[in-house]
């Protein structure tokens, strides 16, 4: 029986977000680097959870957020990520399926619990993330369904996949299948500390054309080229000859190809609540535009619009139907 055709397949860490508001001094007293994503072990996760305030629990995970955003934009999507068969894992699976995403990665029946990201949101809306990878550590090449990859126009994955031991092997297997089928591969650099951990490997992915599209924010791009100057980093990236979408928070984004650099303003917002998921949803809007044949300018605008929605509430999953939201803002997604 042939596999259903998908437009975007996401590969990422399947994580449940545990979100609490906090004051700046909590970050300081717990040695947390504001705005970053830090990997923590299970005992540290328990200690931090015990210390942090009352929390809201919402499904998360960077690539998963992007895929759910794409589904909300009306794009046919599927996701691959590893959960344990615990309460958090059941919630994640429920939420992603109910968001319209095809998801059938088998649950781990033993081993570490479903991954959690303890997110502390300061009054300025900035989020500081502390991730216990748990069951994600068991994602491996056996979780890649060849037919699924072959039948997905774009394979999207997160740099964070380099953290668990076998996920990069799963990704490389998927990327080879994807390219062999004539599909595209997209990577988000995830986080500047993640870039610091895996710089050479990420550059190799770009230079060997294992990836066709790269998402990064300005910090990640500067980390990739080890420069403090943004323009220098953009110039270096342009020579790579892959398509780049570089986000700059309230300054909007740059769409970079070998031939041109397109600067787009950020979408206006009323009130910044929680920046969690801004980059993930930018990627969703941009990929939705690309896969439906929009020009780069409209794809970038869709990215900005989706990012603006997500930062005006807690959590990184959309609170509205993004396809309707885009249409209301003059950016209807082409059929």
Choice between 24 and 86, CB closer to its own copies:
86
Choice between 15 and 96, CB closer to its own copies:
96
Shortest distance in whole angstroms from residue 292 CB to its own copies: 23
Residues 99-118 that bind its own copies (CB under 8 A): 99
Shortest distance in whole angstroms from residue 98 CB to its own copies: 5
The tokens describing 107, both together, are: 């649950």
Shortest distance in whole angstroms from residue 229 CB to its own copies: 40
Shortest distance in whole angstroms from residue 271 CB to its own copies: 10
**56 binds its own copies per the rule CB under 8 A:** yes
Number of residues that bind its own copies (CB under 8 A): 25
DSSP class of residue 159? G
**47 binds its own copies per the rule CB under 8 A:** no
> 64, 77, 95, 148: which one contacts its own copies (CB under 8 A)?
95
Residues 15-34 that bind its own copies (CB under 8 A): 20-21
How many Å separate Cα 141 from the centre of its chain? 20
DSSP class of residue 265? P
Beta strand ranges found along 159-204 (DSSP E): 184-188
Q: Are 11 and 93 in contact (CB under 8 A)?
A: no
Residue 133, SS3 per DSSP: coil
* Interface stretch with its own copies, choices 93-101, 132-140, 146-154, 187-195 (CB under 8 A): 93-101
**135 binds its own copies per the rule CB under 8 A:** no
User: Which DSSP helix (H) or strand (E) runs through 28?
Assistant: helix 24-29
Shortest distance in whole angstroms from residue 203 CB to its own copies: 36
User: Which DSSP helix (H) or strand (E) runs through 116?
Assistant: strand 115-121
Strand pairing category for 127-132 and 102-103: unpaired
**325 binds its own copies per the rule CB under 8 A:** no
Residues forming a β-bridge with 213: 186, 243
Quote the CA–CA distance of 192 and 183 in Å, as a whole number: 28
Shortest distance in whole angstroms from residue 110 CB to its own copies: 17
């Amino acid at each position: 029986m042939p596999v259903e055709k998908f437009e975007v397949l996401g590969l990422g860490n399947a994580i449940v977000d545990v979100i609490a508001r906090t004051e700046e001094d909590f970050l300081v007293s717990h040695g947390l680097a504001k705005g970053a994503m830090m990997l923590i072990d299970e005992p540290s996760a328990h200690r931090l959870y015990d210390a942090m305030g009352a929390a809201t629990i919402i499904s998360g995970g960077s690539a998963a957020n992007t895929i759910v955003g794409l589904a909300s934009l009306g794009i046919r999507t599927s996701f691959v990520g590893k959960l344990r068969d615990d309460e958090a894992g059941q919630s994640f699976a429920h939420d992603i399926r109910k968001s319209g995403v095809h998801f059938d990665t088998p649950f781990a029946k033993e081993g570490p619990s479903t991954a959690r990201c303890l997110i502390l949101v300061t009054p300025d809306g900035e989020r500081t993330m502390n991730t216990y990878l748990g069951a994600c550590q068991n994602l491996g090449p056996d979780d890649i369904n060849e037919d699924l990859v072959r039948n997905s126009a774009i394979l999207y994955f997160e740099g964070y996949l380099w953290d668990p031991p076998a996920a990069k092997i799963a990704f490389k297997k998927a990327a080879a299948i994807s390219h062999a089928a004539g599909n595209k591969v997209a990577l988000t650099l995830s986080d500047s500390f993640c870039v610091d951990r895996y710089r050479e490997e990420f550059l190799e992915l770009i230079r060997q054309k294992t990836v066709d599209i790269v998402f990064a924010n300005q910090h990640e791009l500067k980390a990739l080229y080890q420069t403090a100057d943004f323009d220098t980093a953009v110039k270096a990236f342009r020579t790579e000859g892959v398509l780049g979408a570089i986000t700059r928070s309230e300054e909007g984004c740059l769409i970079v190809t070998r031939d041109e650099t397109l600067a787009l303003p950020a979408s206006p917002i009323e009130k910044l609540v929680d920046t969690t998921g801004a980059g993930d949803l930018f990627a969703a809007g941009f990929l939705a535009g690309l896969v439906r044949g929009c020009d780069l300018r409209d794809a970038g605008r869709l990215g900005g619009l989706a990012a603006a929605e997500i930062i005006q509430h807690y959590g990184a999953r959309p609170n509205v139907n993004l396809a309707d939201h885009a249409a209301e803002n003059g950016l209807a997604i082409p059929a």
